[in-house]
Amino acid sequence: MRSITVGTRGSALALAQTRWVVARLKEEWPETEFRIQTILTKGDRNRASLESMAAQGDKGFWVKEIEDALAQSRIDIAVHSLKDLPTEQPEGLEIASIPQRVDARDALVGKEGMKKLAELPQGARIGTSSVRRKAFLKAFRPDLEVVELRGNVDTRLAALAGPEYDAIILAAAGLIRSELRNRIDELIDPTILLPAPGQGALALETRSDDDLGIEVAYAIHDLATDDRTTAEREFLAGLGAGCMAPVGAMATLKSGVLTLQGWVAALDGSKVIQGSTQGDPAECADLGAELAQDMLKQGASALIDAARG
Ligand SMILES: NCc1[nH]cc(CCC(=O)O)c1CC(=O)O
């Protein structure tokens, strides 16, 4: 029996999404044995330094060790949250497959009486560590207080039991994949909070010369998700921004037309530049790159430079 080793971070969410991937792969390849190998990343080892590393523009905080294991054939397929993958792909490795996206949106989880973003009382305290969520929240409701909240999904939900936060914001997909969908109080409308590029989608990474691994992974590829997230990630790359920038992007597909929305904000939410474009999904990469160029000209460069510090 042929055997494929699938590598992932060891967090509850990473394991939940990897088990989902393996279950889907098993449906397509019933004769193949799949093993799951967890790998500790710099992000897991040293959460405290996350902020400073990110500020220095360290890319691939959650992926480096996993990519090393892949390159050294200790694993055959790596499962990542697409949102955490740098837009530049390392030599010798490729994204072989993007499975179907769950939900791209952000979710609000609130205490009693704190279940809707628009209805939160003046000065309500919202927990998030994302510069994107913070900037867009402040733009929507400058009265809200954004309070730093780090950690994995369980840690963040547990923090809501304490006095520091009235509500927290997380990716809906993380809750859904962790079977915590019932904790979602509001799926936040993307006209208020545009999701991160690639949010809610996974990426299966392989060695570029591993035809078998590529074929196995590709069996669960979803073309619509690929087109949408390619447009979103090319927008991010075209801005010259990383995952730590206050940038949102979301593409939708309807009647064969891809619509891409992109937002770039000042860190304090005092300014948000919004743009959108439409076209043939086959041109998804160009649509993303062109929207980035347009918005850089409209003043997004200054915002991105400022966010970089
Ligand atoms: N930055 C951490 C991270 N990476 C992917 C997800 C959620 C799952 C996804 O977006 O696919 C999360 C947690 C969060 O943003 O709440």
Distance (Å, whole) CA 176 – CA 66: 24
pLDDT of the residue at 1: 80
Q: What is the mean pLDDT of residues 6-29?
A: 97
Q: 45 pLDDT band (50/70/90 cuts)? A: confident
Cα(18) to centroid(ligand 1), Å: 14
Is 199 near ligand 1, meaning CB less than 6 Å away? Answer: yes
Residue 54 is predicted with a pLDDT of: 53
Q: Is the CB of 303 under 6 A from ligand 1?
A: no
Q: pLDDT-derived band of residue 282, with 50, 70 and 90 as boundaries?
A: very high
The backbone torsions φ and ψ at residue 287, rounded to the nearest 5 degrees and listed phi first, read -60, -45
Q: Is the CB of 81 under 6 A from ligand 1?
A: yes
pLDDT at 51 over 70: no
Centre of ligand 1 to C-alpha 119, Å, is 25
Decide whether any atom of ligand 1 lies within 6 Å of the 138 Cβ.
no
Cα 109 to ligand 1 centre (Å): 15
Q: Is 127 in the pocket of ligand 1 (CB under 6 A)?
A: no
Residue 48: what pLDDT?
A: 55
pLDDT of the residue at 243:
66
What is the mean pLDDT of the segment spanning 164-169?
A: 98
CA distance 109 to 126: 10
Lowest mean pLDDT among 75-89, 180-194, 240-254: 240-254
Q: How far is the CA of 166 from the centre of ligand 1 (A)?
A: 21
- Residue 172 or 151, more confident: 172
Q: So what's the pLDDT on residue 69?
A: 97
CA-closest residue to ligand 1 atom 11? 200
Contact of 239 with 296, CB cutoff 8 Å = yes
Q: Best of 8, 83, 102, 179 to mutate for ligand 1, by most ligand atoms within 8 A of CB?
A: 83
Nearest CA residue ID for atom 2, ligand 1: 84
pLDDT beyond 90 at 242 = no
- Identify which of 1, 4, 23 has the alpha carbon closest to the alpha carbon of residue 75: 4
Distance, in Å, from the CA atom of 272 to the CA atom of 299, rounded to the nearest integer, reads: 10
pLDDT of residue 262 exceeding 70, the answer is yes
Kindly list the structural domains of the chain, giving each domain's residue range(s) and its CATH number in brackets, ordered by start: 3-100+201-221 (3.40.190.10), 106-187 (3.40.190.10), 232-308 (3.30.160.40)
289-299 pLDDT, tens digit per residue, is 999 999 999 99
Rounded mean pLDDT of the chain?
94
Work out the angle at residue 58's Cα, subtended by the Cα atoms of residues 217 and 297, and round it to the nearest 5 degrees: 90
pLDDT in tens, 176-226: 999 999 999 999 999 999 999 999 999 999 999 999 999 999 999 999 999
Instruction: Check residue 55 and give its pLDDT.
Output: 43
Expressed in angstroms and rounded, the spacing between residue 1 Cα and the centre of ligand 1 is: 34
| Residue 45 tokens, joined | 């080892």
Our mutation pick for probing the ligand 1 site, out of 79, 80, 81, counting the most ligand atoms within 8 A of Cβ, is 81
Largest CA distance in the chain: 61
The 186-187 sheet, strands edge to edge: 145-147, 125-127, 167-171, 106-110, 186-187
Question: What pLDDT, on a 0 to 100 scale, did the predictor assign at position 50?
Answer: 54
Number of the ligand 1 atom closest to the C-alpha atom of 169: 16
- CB neighbour list of residue 132: distance below 8 Å, 6 or more residues apart: 196, 245, 246, 247, 248, 265
Whether residue 174 has its Cβ less than 6 Å from ligand 1: yes
Own/partner pairs, 52-60, CB within 8 angstroms, 24+ separation: 54/244, 55/244, 55/309, 57/242, 57/244, 57/308, 59/86, 59/88, 59/242, 59/243, 60/85, 60/86
- For a mutational test of ligand 1's pocket, the pick from 9, 13, 82, 150, i.e. the residue with the most ligand atoms closer than 8 A to its C-beta, is 13
Q: How far apart are CA 51 and CA 98, in angstroms?
A: 28
Q: What is the CA radius of gyration of the chain?
A: 19
